[in-house]
Structure 1
Amino acid sequence: MKVAQLIHNELHCWKAELIRQMFDKPSAQAILAIPIPITSNADELVWVLDSKGVFSVKSAYIASNPQFNSPVRSTVKWKKLWSLKAPERLKMFLWRLCVNALPTRDNLFKRMNSVDTSCVLCNESEENPCHLFLHCPFAKALWFAACWGFKAEEVAVVSTEDFVNMVLNPPNVLCNSWEQWKVSLTMASTLEEIWYLRNSVLHSKSPLELHVSIQRIQRRCQEYMVTCPLSPSQPVPHDPTRWAPPPPGCIKLNVDAALSSSKATVAVVARGCSGAVCGVWAKTISLRSPLQAEAEAILWAVQIALKEGWSYVSIEGDSKTCMDYLSLLKTDLEWSIRIIISNVAVLAKSLANCSFVWVRRCCNSAAHVAAKFALCSFLLFLFFKDYLPPAILAVCMEESKLCS
């Protein structure tokens, strides 16, 4: 018997009853969780130990060495570092400093015992990151002169990660909140200048001139600010913290998924520009990963929109991975949701206007509550605004106040 005989080609779904008869329960659940593509796709090999499905020697090595499977915990918010308003060269320097990859003399001594470990700038202490960038007398003077009287001795830095955290979350300063990025830029430039000076003294025997270093830091910051202006009258926009109604003529569909130890549920909440509920759908699906369940919820929302005849829709969900793939049209899909996202994209083309938007959980409360509510049910259900369950009704009423 071939796999094709287990699939309804017209309905694009598995023959569930036949599969449950032929396989044990765990195997049947695993098969039924595999999505069926709407369009024919060529077969491909997938390396399941990689999220993109691509084999690499590194992933095989990690899989064969259990001690490497536990991730190293870091206190640095890497996304905040890479989104920092600063030149890419400067961000790469901060990363090298953070992971202790700079060839400071203490690092070189670990590999070559004959290396002199004294600080290049002051020759008073061992040259390690904490001393070189913060406790060295010249570093203290540079921090104070170039960074608004910043006193290095008052900062508790015990690791290289603390330097990056200090840049990303600078001490309170007298400036507007939307200008705080300029403080981070100056602090990062000061760290880079200290490293530049250290190398100049070591390799070129250059003199230490405090005023020249200050001017170099200021010039670099000003050059970048010219290319990246930010008017004080236009503060950095903040992420919305509450659900917002769609524009007139548009139907907004919020989607979410919930999982228990034995099953998964997906939910869709549709509302118009007035905030009135058009419908709340929820159903149980076979147990699968959270990411797959979120993708299934998006797919169901598109199917509902087509069935209801809505041509202008906005689909919101709190799965950033799924929404990024759909809104940014990324091609490096994770293998576990590749078929589902492909099906969403195919069906969305049948709608006149369909957008996919990532929102925070606090902006997706109604769909979240509906998905949790569905965990207590074994049937697909549809609620209209006149007979919503109390838990869902309370959330929808609270969010609809924004429309009045």
Structure 2
Amino acid sequence: MIRAWRDPWIPRGNHKTGAPRRCCRYRWVSNFIQPDGTWDTQRVQHFFLADDAAEILKIKPSTRNDADFLAWSLEKQGIFTVRSAYRLAFQEQMHERGLEATSIRPHGERPIWRLIWKCPVPPRVQNLAWKIGSNSLATQANKNRRGIRTPATCLICGQENEDTYHVFIRCPHARHLWQAMREGLTEEQRAKTLMLLWRIWYVHNEITHQKPAPTVEGSRRFLMSYLESLLIIKQHPEKDLEKGKIVVSHDTGFRRDKKDTECCKTTRRKWEPPMQGEVKLSVDGSWSSQGTAGAGMVVRDHKGEVLVASCRQLLECQDATEAELTAVEEGMKLALIWTSLPIIVETDCALALELINGSTPNISVYAFQVSRIRDLVRERECKCVKIDRTVNRVSHDLAHVGRVQAKTQVWLRQSPPEVAAAVAFDCISIPS
């Protein structure tokens, strides 16, 4: 049982409600839910503050009176992760320092970190740059600061105390590598800088652990070759690197090559029909920050013919994931009614698919909805698969119609006029 006025159960801020507007004899959240599983709207608005009541009414309780459960609110799956705990601790630390929000950064984010995490270099290089920025590298100075008895001077040159600045700027082997890398710095300078810092730290560790250090020229060639490979991957992501040489443009930098982009736009992938004796249910959800939402779904057979299609306007939808899950749920209900064949459910939402196919009990904010979908899936031979968004055009357009036009409609054995062209395109390569 959840206590209405003491437990943290509202999905926002500190999750607790304010004091009741007037004297209230109702102690439990269940006292505000009707027997059919819906909120007693009048009672909620009567006792809770206006802001609390608005957030409460957005919550969708279980219509089947499922048991309550504890969940970790900082992850969509409801499961505790070290990453989210670290993020929470960091926000608390920023709050104590008065750095959590300003007029320029209303959410308290620090743009300097985004420059590191968005830089097109390998994750281990990004991690090293973050450690440099937060002064958390295992330098001799940091070891001494943390109570580890070790000489403070640099073990490589023995000239100065080994702090982060000395390791990457002042130490002779670092200076030599900086000088060797001065040539050829263009628009990808930030990537080269991070790669250079990463290589300096690697060589530093090799020498510290009494391993033979690579030469400055060897490190320079390694870094230039590595950066060349990164440029190829970014500029020509569709090309096979093993089939031949690819021209790299340093003027383009880490932007995708225009020819590859135009080629991908002109070669749109097509929807693949199911095997004979099966049907495919394609679904999609549409949601906007203004609070409007829609769902689209279409059931087709092995010839690509529409058995049933529908667009739905969704009311009181919280986010895009809920819209996607609602599309799956409503689509499954339609498919189970209008066909007796095995069903393949197609969605382009990886998170929705992960929630539905998960083997463990779901404790996310979508738990009750996921439970209903899993029950529907068990009613028939059925599997849920992930497809590319470009292949899911028909249900995408139907979801858009449901949201923008606030329209709810079902079409039986005919293509909806709004998506007739997309359905016809999907059927072009299907043999008659």
TM over 0.5: yes
1:57-114 Cα offsets, whole Å, 9 max, x none, are 8637626833474365246469x98xxxxxxxxx7744532424474879969x89x9
Contact 2:282 2:392 in 1 (8 A): yes
Equivalent residues in 2 for 1:216-255, closer than 5 Å: 241-255=269-283
Using the TM superposition, give the Cα deviation of residue 286 of structure 1 relative to its aligned residue in structure 2, in angstroms. Answer: 1.9
1:238-272 Cα offsets, whole Å, 9 max, x none, are 9x943222222221111112235343221211112
The root-mean-square deviation of aligned C-alpha atoms, in Å, is 5.1
Contact 1:6 1:14 in 2 (8 A): yes
Match of 2:419 among 381, 392, 395: 392
Using the TM superposition, give the Cα deviation of residue 7 of structure 1 relative to its aligned residue in structure 2, in angstroms. Answer: 4.0
Match of 2:402 among 357, 371, 374: 374
Using the TM superposition, give the Cα deviation of residue 152 of structure 1 relative to its aligned residue in structure 2, in angstroms. Answer: 7.9
1:21-70 Cα offsets, whole Å, 9 max, x none, are 975898479536505265x6431234534434467586376268334743
Match of 2:349 among 319, 344, 359: 319
Using the TM superposition, give the Cα deviation of residue 211 of structure 1 relative to its aligned residue in structure 2, in angstroms. Answer: 11
Match of 2:109 among 67, 70, 74: 70
User: What is the match of residue 345 of structure 1?
Assistant: 374
Contact 1:256 1:297 in 2 (8 A): yes
Match of 1:31 among 48, 51, 57: 57
User: What is the match of residue 187 of structure 1?
Assistant: none
Contact 1:255 1:266 in 2 (8 A): yes
User: What is the match of residue 430 of structure 2?
Assistant: 403
Aligned AA for 1:34?
K
CA separation of 1:104 and 1:241: change in aligned 2, threshold 3 A: farther
User: What is the match of residue 332 of structure 2?
Assistant: 302
User: What is the match of residue 271 of structure 1?
Assistant: 300
Contact 1:37 1:343 in 2 (8 A): no
Match of 1:136 among 168, 176, 180: 176
SS at match of 1:305: helix
Contact 2:283 2:331 in 1 (8 A): yes
Gaps of 5+ in 2: 1-25, 102-106, 224-239, 244-263
Distance 1:128 1:37 in 2: 61
CA separation of 1:271 and 1:280: change in aligned 2, threshold 3 A: same
Distance 1:29 1:365 in 2: 33
Aligned AA for 2:364?
W
Match of 2:38 among 14, 19, 35: 14
Using the TM superposition, give the Cα deviation of residue 308 of structure 1 relative to its aligned residue in structure 2, in angstroms. Answer: 2.2
Distance 1:22 1:193 in 2: 60
1:359-387 Cα offsets, whole Å, 9 max, x none, are 23212111111011112555531023536
SS at match of 1:284: strand
TM-score (norm 2): 0.58
Contact 2:306 2:414 in 1 (8 A): no
Using the TM superposition, give the Cα deviation of residue 348 of structure 1 relative to its aligned residue in structure 2, in angstroms. Answer: 0.7
Distance 2:308 2:364 in 1: 32
Aligned AA for 2:400?
K
Distance 2:184 2:167 in 1: 20
SS at match of 1:314: strand
Distance 1:58 1:213 in 2: 35
Equivalent residues in 2 for 1:161-180, closer than 5 Å: 163=194
Distance 1:32 1:213 in 2: 57
Using the TM superposition, give the Cα deviation of residue 5 of structure 1 relative to its aligned residue in structure 2, in angstroms. Answer: 6.0
Using the TM superposition, give the Cα deviation of residue 119 of structure 1 relative to its aligned residue in structure 2, in angstroms. Answer: 8.1
SS at match of 1:369: helix
Distance 1:152 1:311 in 2: 66
Distance 1:243 1:130 in 2: 59
SS at match of 1:375: helix
Contact 1:271 1:277 in 2 (8 A): yes
Gaps of 5+ in 1: 82-90, 141-150, 165-189, 218-229
Using the TM superposition, give the Cα deviation of residue 326 of structure 1 relative to its aligned residue in structure 2, in angstroms. Answer: 2.7
Distance 1:137 1:196 in 2: 12
Using the TM superposition, give the Cα deviation of residue 279 of structure 1 relative to its aligned residue in structure 2, in angstroms. Answer: 1.6
Structure with the bigger RCO (C-alpha within 8 Å, sep 6+) is 1
CA separation of 1:326 and 1:116: change in aligned 2, threshold 3 A: same
1:135-160 Cα offsets, whole Å, 9 max, x none, are 734995xxxxxxxxxx8833556547
Structure 1 or 2: larger helix share? 1
Using the TM superposition, give the Cα deviation of residue 322 of structure 1 relative to its aligned residue in structure 2, in angstroms. Answer: 0.9
Contact 2:174 2:200 in 1 (8 A): no
CA separation of 1:271 and 1:6: change in aligned 2, threshold 3 A: same
Distance 2:70 2:375 in 1: 23
Aligned AA for 1:70?
E
